[in-house]
Amino acid sequence: MTPLKLIFAGTPEFSASHLKALNESEHQLIAVYTQPDRPAGRGKKLQASPVKQFAEAAGIPVYQPASLKTPEAQAELAALGADAMIVVAYGLILPTEVLQAPRLGCINVHASLLPRWRGAAPIQRAIEAGDAQSGTTIMQMDAGLDTGAMLATASVPIGPETTAASLHDELAHCGAPLLLDVLADLPGHQQRAQQQDDSQANYAHKILKAEAEIDWHRDAAELDLAIRAFNPFPVCFSLLNGQRVKIWSARPAGNAPLGEPPGTILRAGRDGILVNCGTGQLAIERLQLPGGKPLSAEQALNGSADLLSPGTQFQPLPQAEN
Domains of the chain (ranges plus CATH)? 5-204 (3.40.50.170), 211-315 (3.10.25.10)
> pLDDT-based confidence at 212, cuts 50/70/90?
very high
Residue 152 has a pLDDT of: 98
238 is in an annotated binding site: no
pTM for the whole thing?
Answer: 0.92
Quick check: 1 pLDDT over 90?
no
Q: How confident is the model at residue 285 (pLDDT cuts 50, 70, 90)?
A: very high
Q: What pLDDT score does 322 carry? A: 55
pLDDT at residue 303, as a whole number? 87
Q: What is the mean pLDDT of the chain?
A: 95
Distance in angstroms (rounded) separating the CA atoms of residues 100 and 84: 10
* 292-309 tens-digit pLDDT: 999 999 999 998 988 999
Model pLDDT for residues 111-149, shown as the tens digit of each residue: 999 999 999 999 999 999 999 999 999 999 999 999 999
The C-alpha atoms of residue 222 and residue 188 are separated, in whole angstroms, by 43
Q: Using CA atoms, how far apart are residues 140 and 145, in angstroms rounded to an integer? A: 12
User: At 4, is the secondary structure helix, strand, or coil?
Assistant: coil
Average pLDDT over residues 274-285: 96
Please check the confidence at residue 317 and state whether its pLDDT lies above 90: no
CB contact at 8 A, 269 and 209? no
171 carries a ligand binding annotation: no
Tell me which residue of 96, 181, 168 sits closest to 135, measured CA to CA.
168
Q: Give residue-wise pLDDT tens across range 220-242.
A: 999 999 999 999 999 999 999 99
Phi, psi dihedral angles at 136 (to 5 degrees): -120, 140
Q: How far is CA 276 from CA 73, 131, 255, 267, 284, in A?
A: 56, 25, 10, 10, 11
State mean pLDDT over 196-223.
96
Say what percent of the chain tops pLDDT 90.
89
Mean pLDDT of 6-34: 97
Q: State which amino acid sits at residue 168.
A: H
Q: What pLDDT score does 41 carry?
A: 77
Ligand-binding annotation for 115, yes or no, is yes
Known binding residue 208? Answer is no
Statement: residue 21 has pLDDT above 80: yes
Lowest-pLDDT range, 7-11, 257-261, 263-267, 294-298? 257-261
Strand partners, 211: none
> What whole-number percentage of the chain has pLDDT above 70?
98
According to the model, what pLDDT value does residue 89 have? Answer: 95
Residue 320: per-residue pLDDT? 58
